[in-house]
Amino acid sequence: MNICIVAGARPNFIKVAPIVRAIENAARAGENISCQLVYAGREDDPSLEPSLFTDLQMNPPQFFLGVDSTSLNEITGRVMGEFEAYLNQHPTDVVIVVDDLASTMAAAIVTKKQGIMLAHLVAGTRSFDIKMPKEINRLVIDGLSDLLFTAGDGASNIATREGVQLSQIYKVGNILIDSLRFNHDRWIKPDVFEKLGLEEKKYIVFTLNRKKLIAEEQHLAELMTAILSHTADMPVLAPLRTSAREAVEKSVPASLKQRISFIPPLPYLEFGWLTAHAAGVITDSGNVAEEATFNAVPCITLNSYTEHIETVQKGSNVLVGEDPQLLADNVQLMVNGKWKSSSLPDRWDGRAADRIVQILISTVKA
């Protein structure tokens, strides 16, 4: 069985790595199974630092589609053309697509037009806001997929309500947790920790990626004021990429600049250590919120929804939308150590990838 795994952005590789390992383990155990990893972007993509693949203990993608546009429609069209060419040249039994990007949707469409089995990793996630491009991607990908791999009951129920047959839905668990469990004992304390004189559980990590938040200067200034005005003596550490860093630096009032330290983005294993030992995390990233729940670290998410509601229902995550007052209130709770209790959601056991591979083996054989 030849499996093609399509990744569209850097965070996808953290979810893909456990599946690649599980496929390799199955092949060593005698199963007729192999995989090829395809990246929608370019080989020189600056977000794919070499340490990423070293940290994840996986090989870089074997194929790059070379698409680097910022236009969602252009990405969709170009990925469709490039991925069609790939499939015409490489016999493939199953294509696995990850998450909800434009490139993910494009690969899904081409896969079904070629009559190839399609599996969607992290299926059934919804914001219920059809104005969001990613929501359209999710609906299209799940509607086309033969196999929907969901993280929990909530996502499985959504797929069922939308008419997907129960035989197509598999609650495999949260694949991100496979990587966290695999790497938990491999975290590396970053040099910046000592340089800044930080102490464990006495600092806050802040990340920002959403283009909408970065672009709204006045609103971002209100959010940063809400954060930094209520952290008392607890420093805020911000490992941000260029556009986010520039926007945040511009938005922070001069009187509060000493409370935040900007550092370059960290390698995966160093970032994992930093967030695992923080007093709290403030982020707009679903992946970072999931990591915080796994580590039982208080987390504030700057969004009104999350792909994994279990991080709120059972975990350490709180949604504040983009409300400065609600953000400020929760920052105070975080700093004062008055956070809610949390637990690990169902099937966050690090075995999602093994379940996925066994399902693929049994399905293709059938």
Indicate if the alpha-carbon torsion angle 23, 169, 61, 47 is positive or negative.
Answer: negative
pLDDT at 129: 87
Q: Which residues of 20-50 are buried (b: 16+ CB within 10 A; e: fewer)?
A: bbbbbebeeeebebebbbbbbbeeeeeebee
When pLDDT is cut at 50, 70 and 90, the band that residue 70 belongs to is confident
pLDDT at 211: 86
Who has greater pLDDT, 49 or 333?
A: 333
DSSP string, 213-238: HHH-HHHHHHHHHHHHTS-TT--EEE
What average pLDDT is seen over the chain? 95
Per DSSP, which regions of 175-293 are E strands? 204-206, 236-239, 260-263, 280-283
- C-alpha to C-alpha distance for 192 and 177, rounded to whole angstroms: 26
Q: Decide if 355 contacts 327 (C-beta within 8 A).
A: no
**Percent of the chain scoring above 70 in pLDDT:** 99
Residue 278 has pLDDT above 70, yes or no: yes
pLDDT at 299: 98
Of 298, 296, 304, 343, whose CA–CA distance to 320 is shortest? 304
For residue range 7-35, list pLDDT tens digits in order: 999 999 999 999 999 999 999 999 999 99
Indicate if the alpha-carbon torsion angle 341, 346, 348, 350 is positive or negative.
Answer: positive
Please compute the mean of the pLDDT values over residues 309-335 and round it to a whole number. 96
pLDDT at 276: 97
Please compute the mean of the pLDDT values over residues 115-123 and round it to a whole number. 97
pLDDT at 365: 67
Q: Compute the chain's Rg from CA coordinates.
A: 20
Please compute the mean of the pLDDT values over residues 59-78 and round it to a whole number. 95
Indicate if the alpha-carbon torsion angle 188, 191, 197, 202 is positive or negative.
Answer: negative
For residue range 204-225, list pLDDT tens digits in order: 999 999 888 999 999 999 999 9
Of 12, 169, 168, whose CA–CA distance to 99 is shortest? 12
**In angstroms, how far is CA 334 from the centroid of its own chain?**
23
When pLDDT is cut at 50, 70 and 90, the band that residue 366 belongs to is low
- C-alpha to C-alpha distance for 101 and 132, rounded to whole angstroms: 11
Residue 257 has pLDDT above 60, yes or no: yes
Cβ partners under 8 Å of residue 252, min gap 6: 221, 224, 225, 228, 260
Residue 141 CB neighbours (<10 A)? 27
DSSP letter for 152, please. Answer: S
For residue range 146-185, list pLDDT tens digits in order: 999 999 998 999 999 999 999 999 999 999 999 999 999 9
pLDDT at 294: 97
When pLDDT is cut at 50, 70 and 90, the band that residue 127 belongs to is confident
Please compute the mean of the pLDDT values over residues 89-101 and round it to a whole number. 97
Of 193, 211, 210, whose CA–CA distance to 202 is shortest? 193
